[in-house]
A and B are shown apart, each in its own frame.
Chain A
């Protein structure tokens, strides 16, 4: 088995791993694709949480979005992903990364292609390290294939990120402006989390479509992805749930586990939605704080310049620089709030929708079984009638049909039981992973906040003697 991934410094990777706090490169994020895998290590440390770490690759995103004059991008959140989480209990058999977004084509037909890289020790793959290029619709296509498989019914199949006409239109126009940069990075990170969740699911990893997605050079273009925005999926789920509620034959659950769990899942989805709204507003305010801090810093610089008293002038100019640094801190905090919490909550809201989908699949399996039983019953009645009517050839056919339907009833009952077991297993696994996922994200967040505070302390400690030296 592999050891954990390690973010080496590599300018090929896009977004690039980040300079340390001591470096202050003014480099812009390089959006050009460099295809060389030589010596490149792009895999996020994702040991521990089998649902995969939420990749917190912060990029120039917020920097561009907020202050073009920022010189140094200190993406300490990404540094946190460099800090290996030594939960060495489960080393990973498969590691995936989504990187190097690149615009292909021009105008309204343009799209973004991502590099999907895999590192694995499993023999079922063609090699140990390989990569392919995929576009967004490919990811949707993968989900579509997985979600209709009978064999995977009952499984919680992770959801790809949502389609966005607005976002993509901006990108088609140009990839350089701040909102496009932010959109692409957000999508890239979400696609990565999606794939990581897929490959950490034992059943999904075995699926040939997953393997093909990761390995095959030229993937046939996915069709029928219209319905498959995340919002579209949720609409589907909700419609199905309504259909289930309107079912004529009500299920009589001997075990209330399923009903109770379903209710819990619905409640939890509501709570997470509320949380998501609050986090969104928090992110907006933090971004606002960045802007205000930058403006304040400028006003201090002007004040310092206009000041006659040399010591005071110098102190004010220094203060302007401190405020500039604080703007950067605020940016990172905003990004932290966003990439850690907002996206985490968003992911889980959608995953809970997927969980509801599994319950729905179980209900439909039950329905199918019930309908088959009902059909069997009708066939038996028909046979009885034919016995009386004495039509030997029709009787033979009726007997054959009964046998067929008896087999079906048995099969559907087995399916229903199987799906029920799968759902139970999946839900338990999901809850374990959820607690772990949240916990590990919160730790990342706290580490980021702590670093923030420590840098803040340094700024203030450096400024204090300047302030004292004024008079």
Chain B
């Protein structure tokens, strides 16, 4: 290949997308730094880079601002988790949901998934920013990127009305209706599951207290009946220590499998919703342009026609990409949920079996007691 051709082709990612791992997170005061490792495509070797959350945002901004890529607005962008905080406020914790739990593993996993999905995306992976993010030993630039086209920050009343705008395509109308319902349901399910996990953790803590308090009942002395009671207390303390461990495992399993799954599904549904909204906006633009052509005075007609043609093209590109994205998304999410459910079930089954064994052992001990 000649050097000119290399310059014209888009960037090709030089790592295996499924090899990308967020291996650890370092805390320095209030800053969190994530270590990202990925395997080189060619030959052996790895890239090790350290990135902060701002770097992730930089990457996302670059992906959003690819205005020159046709149909980019039809892409369902892999969702980036919300910003983590070292001493998180209650609101931040609520926003992060499952990702706020544990010692950062759920959060790291979510970042990892984000990167893997970006790297695996046929359109997005071609953006140079992805290569830079994953391979450059220097932190990517922190300069403000030019204003991106995805500012949906202000939910003005007008914007909300656009969301309900009737579609011209039945496929898309169905998809929009369905997405709306599913987004709500998934979010609710994730929230309620989080409540379950929180209560499980409380139970674990209470069991720990009980276990500790039982030790206070142990009395010295040679009185055989007193010793009998002391033995009972010690053994019961061990029982509750087991129960505590079991509960903790159950809660962890919940978070690491189904919890993460529901969280990702929820954020992805939101991402699809945003894409569909962008397309709807394009539709509104197109319909406005069409009306303008009809209303235009002969002097302006040609110009309006140009505008209409541009809008039409953009809408068609967007819809085309959107259809592909939706098909891919529907397949991917089912697979993702299946993995989450299977993984969850297997883990809980294992924990339950271990727990049953432990109870059996404790039971033997008590039955054998004089």
Contacts and interface: CB of A to CB of B under 8 A. Distances in A.
A285 B185 CA distance: 26
B210 A463 contact: no
B243 A449 contact: yes
Given A307-B182, A439-B369, A471-B335, A289 B355 contact: no
Nearest to A305: B185
B321 interface: no
Interface stretch (B28-36, B90-98, B223-231, B283-291): B223-231
B130 to A, nearest CB: 28
A467 B341 CA distance: 6
A435 B192 contact: no
Nearest to B265: A303
B362 A274 contact: no
B193 interface: yes
B192 to A, nearest CB: 4
Given A282-B207, A309-B334, A315 B196 contact: no
A433 to B, nearest CB: 9
Interface residues of A, number: 57
Given A295-B192, A457-B352, A464-B342, A278 B206 contact: yes
B345 interface: yes
Given A282-B210, A434-B229, A450-B360, A442 B185 contact: no
A296 B337 contact: no
Given A446-B362, A453-B355, A312 B203 contact: no
A164 to B, nearest CB: 25
Nearest to A318: B341
A300 B356 contact: no
A300 B216 CA distance: 44
Nearest to A282: B206
Interface in A298-312: 298-300, 302-303, 306-309, 311-312
Nearest to A448: B359
Contact of A438 (B182, B229, B356): B229
Nearest to B198: A292
Contacts of B195: 292, 295-296
Tell me what chain A mostly uses at the interface: helix, strand, loop, or mixed.
helix
A464 B345 contact: yes
B239 interface: yes
B74 to A, nearest CB: 20
Contact of A446 (B213, B217, B359): B359
A52 B223 CA distance: 23
Contact of A457 (B206, B335, B349, B366): B349
Interface string B193-209: 10110011011001101
Contact of A288 (B202, B226, B330, B334): B202
A21 interface: no
Interface in B20-76: none
A231 interface: no
B356 A467 contact: no
B199 A438 contact: no
Contacts of A306: 178, 181-182, 185
B232 interface: yes
B349 A446 contact: no
Given A457-B349, A471-B335, A447 B330 contact: no
B342 A467 contact: yes
B189 A299 contact: yes
Contacts of B185: 299, 302-303, 306
B142 interface: no
A456 B349 CA distance: 8
Nearest to B353: A457
A264 B219 contact: yes
Contacts of A450: 356, 359-360, 363
A404 interface: no
Given A271-B217, A434-B229, A446 B366 contact: yes
Contacts of B239: 442, 446
B42 to A, nearest CB: 32
A285 B206 contact: yes
Nearest to A458: B352
11 contacts: A281-B206, A282-B210, A289-B199, A292-B192, A293-B196, A302-B189, A303-B185, A439-B369, A450-B356, A456-B348, A464-B345
Given A278-B210, A303-B189, A439-B366, 20 more contacts: A274-B216, A275-B210, A279-B210, A292-B196, A292-B199, A293-B196, A299-B189, A312-B337, A319-B341, A431-B226, A438-B232, A442-B235, A442-B366, A443-B367, A446-B363, A450-B356, A457-B353, A460-B352, A464-B349, A467-B338
